[in-house]
């Protein structure tokens, strides 16, 4: 018996009408009726009560429908397994710059070590807004986003990662006071800033506004799109910057840079992991999430298991 007959029975029972089932299945109403009648003759019982305005499963019909649901699920899983034979799984990631520079190389190394032969992987570095758009447009399966404001992530599975702390940095050659520093001293310097849309620039702008200041009050400003070039420029003594401490931890420990904080500044930004729910049951996605959490020395969340399976 072809499973199409069981599917027809289920659609008829759910819609409550032969005509609605016919429209949904793109067949004639007569074909729907004949398929249901075939099943009733095969099992020797009436499966749908036709006496009322809507089709209603009989007691035997409920039993057949329950088993039919399992059969159709197994058939769907079988078809998917067959489609996967000889085909690599794809996974796409979008992340904001700091995560991409500081954490992603280690995460990718760990992930690809165990998945390189079975997956096609791609990643894109974007601003927070662009990363969210990538999720909504299905350009990426998951995103790691550093941000200082709430994001429009309704409809996605989200997890909070450790927050990111930002600091002002300068070259020792500028002889600026270390640690806590007066904002007016910093405003006398050239600001090496990120482009608009970057959350570090947005957080700096919000902090300045809270103190009645703007970016225009710095002595001058240079806009850099490349984080490494920005840091190298500050190391050379050409200005100051407001960046994640994790980006410059090596230069700070070697004495190539000094860090500064301003009293009253909110120096932390959020870091969120967002997943496309349509793929969150896939093992490859769980593997990648495990690698991200391992990088932060955290226990990873357990994503929903595929239908009919449990995670070990």
Quote the distance between the C-alpha of residue 166 and its chain's center: 23
pLDDT of 85: 63
pLDDT of 84: 60
pLDDT of 233: 96
CB 221 within 8 Å of CB 190: yes
Distance CA(142)–CA(288), nearest Å, equals: 10
Q: Average per-residue pLDDT in the chain?
A: 90
> Does 306 have pLDDT greater than 70?
no
Q: In this predicted model, what pLDDT tens digit does every residue of 69-105 receive, in sequence order?
A: 999 989 887 876 776 665 567 889 999 999 999 999 9
pLDDT of 310: 45
Q: In this predicted model, what pLDDT tens digit does every residue of 292-303 receive, in sequence order?
A: 999 999 999 988
Q: What one-character DSSP code corresponds to residue 28?
A: -
CB 279 within 8 Å of CB 157: no
- Residue 74, helix vs strand vs coil: helix
β-bridge mates for residue 161, sequence order: 271
Element (H, E) at 29: helix 29-43
Q: How much helix, strand and coil, in percent to the nearest 5, is found in the chain?
A: 45, 20, 30
Q: In this predicted model, what pLDDT tens digit does every residue of 101-131 receive, in sequence order?
A: 999 999 999 998 877 666 788 889 999 999 9
Q: In this predicted model, what pLDDT tens digit does every residue of 20-56 receive, in sequence order?
A: 999 988 899 999 999 999 999 999 999 999 999 999 9
Token pair listed for 157 = 């599975």
> Does 1 have pLDDT greater than 60?
no
Q: Closest Cα to residue 237, out of 213, 253, 258? A: 258
Q: In this predicted model, what pLDDT tens digit does every residue of 173-223 receive, in sequence order?
A: 999 998 899 999 999 999 999 988 899 999 999 999 999 999 999 999 999
Please classify residue 214 by burial: count the beta carbons closer than 10 Å to its beta carbon, then call 0-12 exposed, 13-18 middle and 19+ buried.
exposed
């Amino acid at each position: 018996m072809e499973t199409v007959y069981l599917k027809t029975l289920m659609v008829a029972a759910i819609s409550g009408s032969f005509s609605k089932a016919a429209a949904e299945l793109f067949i004639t109403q007569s074909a729907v009726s004949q398929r249901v009648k075939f099943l009733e003759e095969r099992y020797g019982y009436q499966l749908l009560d036709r006496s009322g305005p809507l089709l209603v499963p009989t007691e035997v019909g409920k039993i057949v429908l329950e088993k039919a649901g399992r059969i159709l699920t197994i058939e769907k899983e079988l078809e998917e397994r067959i489609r996967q034979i000889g085909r690599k799984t794809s996974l796409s990631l979008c992340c904001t710059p700091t995560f991409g520079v500081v954490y992603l190389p280690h995460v990718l190394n760990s992930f690809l070590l165990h998945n390189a032969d079975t997956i096609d992987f791609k990643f894109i570095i974007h601003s927070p807004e662009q990363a969210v758009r990538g999720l909504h447009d299905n350009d990426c399966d998951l995103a790691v986003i550093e941000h200082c404001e709430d994001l429009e992530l309704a409809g996605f599975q989200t997890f909070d990662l450790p927050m990111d702390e930002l600091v002002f940095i300068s070259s020792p050659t500028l002889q600026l006071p270390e640690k806590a520093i007066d904002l007016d001293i910093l405003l006398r310097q050239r600001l090496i800033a990120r482009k608009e849309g970057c959350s570090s620039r947005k957080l700096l702008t919000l902090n300045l506004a809270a103190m009645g200041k703007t970016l225009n009050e710095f002595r001058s400003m240079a806009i850099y799109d490349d984080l490494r070039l920005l840091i190298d420029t500050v190391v050379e003594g050409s200005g100051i910057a407001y960046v994640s401490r994790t980006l410059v931890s090596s230069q700070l420990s070697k004495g190539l840079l000094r860090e500064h904080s301003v009293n009253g500044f909110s120096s932390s930004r959020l870091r969120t992991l967002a997943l496309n729910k349509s793929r969150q049951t896939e093992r490859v996605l769980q593997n990648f999430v495990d690698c991200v959490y391992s990088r932060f020395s955290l226990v990873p969340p357990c994503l929903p298991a595929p239908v009919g399976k449990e995670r070990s």
